[in-house]
């Protein structure tokens, strides 16, 4: 029996490691997949390359995971290694949950808690992702265990260490600070001032390195990062639903939000703003809406409070249900989830609420839940609550097994119903299926793209226009433009939310022989104003190839405005102006290219041609062919 815990942990690590390696190979979870993962990966690479401070501004994401990822990458030169380390930390977290449950509820309850936690799919899933959520389970389990030791053994070292871990966890999940402060306040109310002061000192010590960095590097006061304001606005401002929603005019990526939130705030303020001022601007917008709509805000808070208890998967940015049931991973066999942990955990945690020390420990649960309600609801934000629920779940099973009171059974059943009441929220599964269709389309595998698109449509959470677009892209990538045309046309008729869908339609028309139709589509195409220079250049080049330099000109000019330092943008604009006989303007653009790239033979030749033409209004019909860069 003495070896049973070791066997359990080894088996659990094997499970977590297998899932981590399975997800490591998945095409939607690669380091360059975009979304939050790529933001963390790119920042980690900068740190590993020596840019330790990541200046000059505030962090736009929680910083702890950046440095964790950078450390592993610097040592192993692999992001797969990070997933392996995360699986190991997740295994240690289960052991910590066992120790915490044993201290409060006894050995049998601790074993039940450990088994339930080990079979909880969302723990293993998030630990396999390249996201800051991968550390939340471990950090929360460690903080709650150290807090248990501080409360039960009353040694100063445990109190300080508990505070430090809460502070470090705040660097990964900033609303953890709310829970830490609540614990300190509860202890102070119980007149356990020394313990409260030691924990508070530890919290300050845990946060201090980042706060000091912000003051020294960014010259701004911020405890952790700059994204609190925009998150508060998403959760409480105009259009808030209680869950994450896109901010009009901004991409739904952490990097895109940070960039465009800054731009929009400065446009509104008509001056340059610091990162802290941008955050304050969006907090101010939220508070303005709250003051104008107090009743609506109270209703929103009630909805969010229930959403914390409800166990529907609300995955951002990746879908647990997709990777558990569609991706062929061992997550399918992790049968325990919030659906069981939450009602069992709440029941067990409340049932054993007796001693003052335990009540101080338990303060973590409502305080952290309140910190989520203050912002918006998503599954990964609730992971620390699931850790506490797992610890209490063993106590819940024990209470139901030994006492068998009708009132207890009824209370537990009420919790089960409330926690699992269907909300019909989008769990992201359809979106992931559609992304798989797009991946297969890019690979040219029409059959697989059609299969995934069909599955996405079955879910009912993605518009048919997106599915039509995915199918059109698949046919186009496979070299079947005629088959792609009807799909792309239907997608655009149904107003697909893909800004450059018209470009794909133009390509399909061109390859099908309808060059005039392709020009008409490009003429009507509206390239998003926040696109990069490469996008404007790509669309402009296609228009020029189709013999429509007037369509290409504004696109090339926009590329020049977006990236004036890019010689290729000036060269393409110069070529286009030459095609339209506007030789003086062409000479100015080509002169910029030659000044920066004197060995660019094409640019030198075209500049000479433009200068010879001068301001002559009549040009020979057969202008020599000009090469694009």
Over the chain (629 residues), the average pLDDT of each successive run of 10 is: 79 96 95 88 95 90 96 96 97 97 96 96 97 97 98 92 98 95 97 96 97 92 86 92 82 74 85 89 94 96 95 88 95 95 96 90 97 93 97 94 83 95 90 89 84 86 86 86 91 86 92 93 86 88 92 92 90 90 88 90 87 59 41
Residue 32 lies inside a defined structural domain of this protein: yes
Cα–Cα distance between 74 and 57 in angstroms, integer?
A: 24
| Structure confidence at residue 354 (pLDDT) | 81
pTM as predicted? 0.85
Single out the residue in 388, 420, 452 at which a domain terminates: 420
Q: Is the peptide bond before 383 cis (omega within 30 degrees of 0)?
A: no
Residue 41 lies inside a defined structural domain of this protein: yes
| Structure confidence at residue 314 (pLDDT) | 87
Structural domains counted in the chain: 3
Region of residue 239 (phi > 0: left; psi between -120 and 50: alpha; otherwise: beta): left
Single out the residue in 483, 510, 526 at which a domain terminates: 526
Is residue 398 located within the same domain as residue 459?
A: no
Residue 71 lies inside a defined structural domain of this protein: yes
Region of residue 78 (phi > 0: left; psi between -120 and 50: alpha; otherwise: beta): beta
CATH number of domain containing 573: 1.25.40.10
User: Which of 189, 35, 165, 2 lies closest to 89 in space, CA to CA?
Assistant: 165
Is residue 104 located within the same domain as residue 29?
A: yes
User: Which of 442, 430, 443, 494 lies closest to 468 in space, CA to CA?
Assistant: 494
Is residue 63 located within the same domain as residue 175?
A: yes
Q: Is the peptide bond before 104 cis (omega within 30 degrees of 0)?
A: no
Residue 257 lies inside a defined structural domain of this protein: no
| Structure confidence at residue 628 (pLDDT) | 43
Is residue 402 located within the same domain as residue 454?
A: no
Is residue 118 located within the same domain as residue 46?
A: yes
Is residue 35 located within the same domain as residue 143?
A: yes
Is residue 105 located within the same domain as residue 29?
A: yes
- Let me know: does 542 contact 555? Beta carbons within 8 Å: no
Q: Angle of helix 515-524 relative to helix 549-562, nearest 10 degrees?
A: 40
Residue 413 lies inside a defined structural domain of this protein: yes
Is residue 461 located within the same domain as residue 562?
A: no
Is residue 9 located within the same domain as residue 59?
A: yes
Is residue 390 located within the same domain as residue 487?
A: no
Single out the residue in 391, 420, 449 at which a domain terminates: 420
Q: Which domain holds residue 551?
A: 533-614
Is residue 559 located within the same domain as residue 432?
A: no
Measured in degrees and rounded to the nearest 5, phi and psi for residue 25 equal -90, -5
Residue 577 lies inside a defined structural domain of this protein: yes
Cα–Cα distance between 599 and 244 in angstroms, integer?
A: 51
Residue 73 lies inside a defined structural domain of this protein: yes
Beta partners for 377?
243
Is residue 119 located within the same domain as residue 51?
A: yes
């Amino acid at each position: 029996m003495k070896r049973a815990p070791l066997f359990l942990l080894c088996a659990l690590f094997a499970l977590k490691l297998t899932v981590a390696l399975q997800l490591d190979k998945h095409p939607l979870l690669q380091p360059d997949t975009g979304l939050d993962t790529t933001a963390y990966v790119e920042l980690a690479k900068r740190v590993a390359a020596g840019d330790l401070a990541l200046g000059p501004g505030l962090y736009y994401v929680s910083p702890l995971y950046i440095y964790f990822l950078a450390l592993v990458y610097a040592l192993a030169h692999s992001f797969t290694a990070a997933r392996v380390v995360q699986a190991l930390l997740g295994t240690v977290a289960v052991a910590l949950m066992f120790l915490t449950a044993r201290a409060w509820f006894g050995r049998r309850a601790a074993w039940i808690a450990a088994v339930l936690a080990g079979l909880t799919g969302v723990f293993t899933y998030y630990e396999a992702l390249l996201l800051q959520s991968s550390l939340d389970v471990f950090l929360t389990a460690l903080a709650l265990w150290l807090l248990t030791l501080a409360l039960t053994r009353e040694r100063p070292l445990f109190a300080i260490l508990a505070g430090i871990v809460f502070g470090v966890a705040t660097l990964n999940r900033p609303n953890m600070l709310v829970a830490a402060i609540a614990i300190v306040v509860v202890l102070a109310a119980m007149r356990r001032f020394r313990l409260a002061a030691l924990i508070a000192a530890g919290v300050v010590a845990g946060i201090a390195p980042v706060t000091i960095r912000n003051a020294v590097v960014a010259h701004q006061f911020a405890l952790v990062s700059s994204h609190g304001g925009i998150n508060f606005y998403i959760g409480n401002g105009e259009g808030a639903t209680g869950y994450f929603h896109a901010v009009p005019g901004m991409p739904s990526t952490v990097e895109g939000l940070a960039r465009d939130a800054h731009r929009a705030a400065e446009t509104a303020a008509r001056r340059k703003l610091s990162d802290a001022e941008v955050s304050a601007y969006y907090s101010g917008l939220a508070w303005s809406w709250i003051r104008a709509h107090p009743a609506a805000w109270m209703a929103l808070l009630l909805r969010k409070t229930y959403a914390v208890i409800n166990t529907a998967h609300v995955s951002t940015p990746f879908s647990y249900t997709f990777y558990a049931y569609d991706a062929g991973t061992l997550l399918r066999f992790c049968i325990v989830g919030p659906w069981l942990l939450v009602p069992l955990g709440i029941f067990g945690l409340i049932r054993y609420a007796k001693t003052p020390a335990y009540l101080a420990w338990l303060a973590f649960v409502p305080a952290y839940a309140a910190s989520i309600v203050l912002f918006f609801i998503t599954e990964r934000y609730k992971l620390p609550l699931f850790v506490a629920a797992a610890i209490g779940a063993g106590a819940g099973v024990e209470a139901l097994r030994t006492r068998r009171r009708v009132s207890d059974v009824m209370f537990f059943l009420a919790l089960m119903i409330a926690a699992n009441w269907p909300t019909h929220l989008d769990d992201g599964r359809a979106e992931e299926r559609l992304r798989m269709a797009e991946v297969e389309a890019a690979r040219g595998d029409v059959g697989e793209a059609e299969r995934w698109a069909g599955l996405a449509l079955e879910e009912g959470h993605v518009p048919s226009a997106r599915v039509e677009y995915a199918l059109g892209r698949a046919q186009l990538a496979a070299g079947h433009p005629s088959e792609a045309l009807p799909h792309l046309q239907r997608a655009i008729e149904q107003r697909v939310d893909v800004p450059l869908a018209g470009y794909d339609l133009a390509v399909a028309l061109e390859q099908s022989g309808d060059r005039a139709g392709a020009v008409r589509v490009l003429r009507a195409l509206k390239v998003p104003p926040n696109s990069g220079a490469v996008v404007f250049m790509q669309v402009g080049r296609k228009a020029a190839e189709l013999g429509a330099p007037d369509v290409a000109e504004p696109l090339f000019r926009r590329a020049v405005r977006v990236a004036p330092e890019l010689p290729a943008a000036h060269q393409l604009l110069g070529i286009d102006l030459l095609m339209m006989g506007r030789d003086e303007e062409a000479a100015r653009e080509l002169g910029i290219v030659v000044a920066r790239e004197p060995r660019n033979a094409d640019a030198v030749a075209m500049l000479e041609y433009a200068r010879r033409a001068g301001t002559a209004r009549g040009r020979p019909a057969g202008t020599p062919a000009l090469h694009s860069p």
